[in-house]
A = this chain, B = another copy of it.
Amino acid sequence: MFESAEIGRCIDKDTYDAEAPALREALLEAQYELQQQGRFAVLILINGIEGAGKGETVKLLNEWMDPRLIQVNTFDQQTDEELARPSAWRYWRQLPPKGRIGVFFGNWYSQMLQGRVHKRIKNAVLDQAIDTTLGMERMLCDEGTLIFKFWFHLSKQHMKARLKALQDDPLHSWRISPLDWQQSKTYDKFVRVGERILRRTSRDYAPWYVVEGVDEYYRSLTVGRILLDGLQAALKAKSRPLPHPHAAPLTSSLGEHGLLDSLDMNQALDKDTYTEQLISEQARLSSLMRDKRMRRHSLIAVFEGNDAAGKGGAIRRVIGALDPRQYRIVPVAAPTEEERAQPYLWRFWRHIPARGKFTVFDRSWYGRVLVERVEGFCAPGDWLRAYGEINDFEEQLSEAGVVLVKFWLSIDQQTQLERFKAREQIPFKRFKITEDDWRNREKWPLYRDAVGDMVDRTSTEIAPWTLVEANDKRFARIKVLRTINEALETAFGKD
């Protein structure tokens, strides 16, 4: 969930200087339109890692927009008046009225995060708090509030550097925090709990936006653009509740440097190393599948990737040393008539393996947020809510002991072109290349955005995405096999 906010995204000063004035003007205009319409309120929740620029961003928004129409609230220690009433009272009394923007710093999410990190509450109680929160946010949306939830993120390394810089700066060194962020353990716990909360509370009507905070220019432009897009969509919408004003986050399309671009595509293996490692990883998998601890688990491997990225070849290597009675490959194409008559996830539920078994999905439920999104096969409302539904689905798998590994096989455009051409030359491969493939190629940027959003929203602790650099097929196959083996060993180790 935080992968694409740990790659050091930045924007240079020139780009920022070129874009900021127009963005600022548009935001100001949207703000006045919001006031004039008076149809809905805007609530901005600010959370995330210490030092990731939460305060600076709020300060900037106040500078950019008309501060008379923004109210910033910090919820630290409860006052006597607040302590004497139900805990939600302090938030209700500060809600922005229609036509205004409210910024909630240290909101309900901070409370539950701190509570869980400090072990004052257990997961079940955390989930109850999450449940209450979802009810509250749903109600606010139904009543005409547009909610933006920002998680400002930093990798551990970036956080440490940032804290050090702040400490050395006399203007900032006075700042304290209830958590001891100097401790590496604190960061880990905070991120783990944060991930659980984001996974369960990112809903189509109020999704989370994860923003990497290391670079001020990137951070500011990203937040500004997300706000502007959401505001403009909601201002245009005529109905209530506001119909999905939230597009997917812009992070992947902002700047040329997305998550996929951060991969080192030159990684490769020579033939001898490959052969040697292939044999040993296959043997390892075969042995793990026969391990008696496998009786408590099942294994699911999801393969997605660019066309011609080598999914088929990788799958063949994975099942190469396995007993065919243990695994099953499910190729996912257009749904059958029977499948179309059922809820979307039904056609995947029917292939969930029993304990001890292994199912390979050659393409998967992620089709909804990839091809269906890009090709417009389903309405935006459908794919927007799919992220949450998929996270719920995978959580149910995980709780039942299913080990779930998800691969995105990534190649660059040049490599794809070469493989397409090669396929057209080789008679027995010609069936593998169609008009569709050439057409999809033209939508490369759309797919890149969709993949970025997919990983941002569905790569979770319980079911992380593995991005596989697949320009070199040998490297990709070994990485896939090794990832599966490690996932199984980790699961066995936890038993």
> Inside 8 A of A95's CB, which chain B residues have their CB?
342-343, 346
A341 within 8 A of partner (CB): yes
Closest CB-CB distance, A361 to chain B, in whole Å? 15
Q: Which residue of B lies closest to A204 (CB)?
A: B142
A128 contact set on B, CB distance < 8 A: 124, 127-128
Most B-side CB within 10 Å, residue of A84, A344, A382: A84
Distance of A355 Cα from B86 Cα, bound (Å): 9
Q: Out of B89, B97, B298, B353, which one reaches A349, CB within 8 Å?
A: B89
Among A38, A125, A128, A399, which residue has the most Cβ atoms of chain B within 10 A? A128
Contact (Cβ within 8 A) B352 A85: yes
Contact yes or no, A93 B343, CB < 8 A = no
Q: Does A81 contact B (CB under 8 A)?
A: yes
Q: Judging by beta carbons under 8 Å apart, are B38 and A86 in contact?
A: no
Query: Does A139 make an interface contact (CB < 8 A)?
Result: yes
A131–B41 Cα gap in the complex (Å)? 27
Do A396 and B142 touch (CB < 8 A)?
no
Chain B hits for A354, CB < 8 A: 81, 84-85
State the CA gap A78–B40 with chains docked (Å): 49
Verify B139–A86 contact, CB threshold 8 A: no
Residue A66 CB within 8 A of the other chain: no
A142 contacts across to B, CB distance below 8 A? 382, 385
Number of interface residues of A (CB under 8 A): 56
A352 CB contact (under 8 Å) in B89, B124, B338: B89
| Chain B residues within an 8 Å CB radius of A249 | none
Interchain CB contact under 8 A, B341 and A99: yes
* A386 CB, nearest partner CB in chain B, Å: 9
Is A222 positioned at the interface, with any CB of B under 8 Å from its CB? no
In the bound complex, what is the Cα–Cα distance between A239 and B137 (angstroms)?
A: 24
A455 at the interface (CB under 8 A from B): no
CB neighbours of A86 from chain B (8 A): 352, 396-397, 399-400, 402
Number of copies: 2
Min CB distance A207 to B, Å, is 15
User: Does the CB pair B124–A92 fall under 8 Å?
Assistant: no
Whether A396 contacts B127 in the complex (CB less than 8 A), given A93-B350, A98-B341, A342-B95, comes out as: no
Can you list, as one digit per residue, whether each of A391-426 has a CB less than 8 Å from chain B (1) or not (0)? 010001101101000000000000000000000000
Q: Give the complex CA separation of A356 and B83 in angstroms.
A: 12
- Determine whether the beta carbon of A338 is less than 8 Å from that of B127: no
A295-B187 Cα distance, complex, nearest whole Å: 39
Asked if A132 is an interface residue, CB under 8 A from chain B, the answer is yes
A461 within 8 Å of B (CB atoms): no
Report chain B residues within 8 Å CB of A350.
Answer: 92-93
Per-position 1/0 for A87-107, Cβ under 8 A of B: 111001101011100000000
* A140, CB-defined interface residue at 8 Å: yes
Which B residue's beta carbon lies closest to that of A396?
B86
The 8 Å CB contact of A131, one of B122, B127, B343, is B127
What's the minimum C-beta distance from A127 to chain B, rounded to whole angstroms? 5
Q: Does A135 belong to the interface (CB within 8 Å)?
A: yes
A145 part of interface (Cβ distance < 8 Å): yes
Is A143 among interface residues, defined by CB-CB distance under 8 A? yes
Query: Would you call A6 an interface residue if the criterion is a C-beta within 8 Å of the partner chain's C-beta atoms?
Result: no
Given contacts A81-B354, A124-B125, A343-B139, contact A338 B92 (CB under 8 A): no
A252-292 vs B: 1/0 string, CB under 8 Å?
Answer: 00000000000000000000000000000000000000000
17 contacts between A and B (CB under 8 A): A41-B342, A84-B298, A85-B353, A86-B397, A86-B400, A88-B349, A89-B349, A92-B345, A93-B350, A95-B343, A122-B124, A124-B127, A124-B128, A139-B385, A142-B382, A143-B343, A143-B344
The 7 A-B pairs with the shortest beta carbon distances in the complex, nearest first, are A86-B400, A124-B124, A97-B341, A84-B354, A143-B343, A92-B349, A98-B341
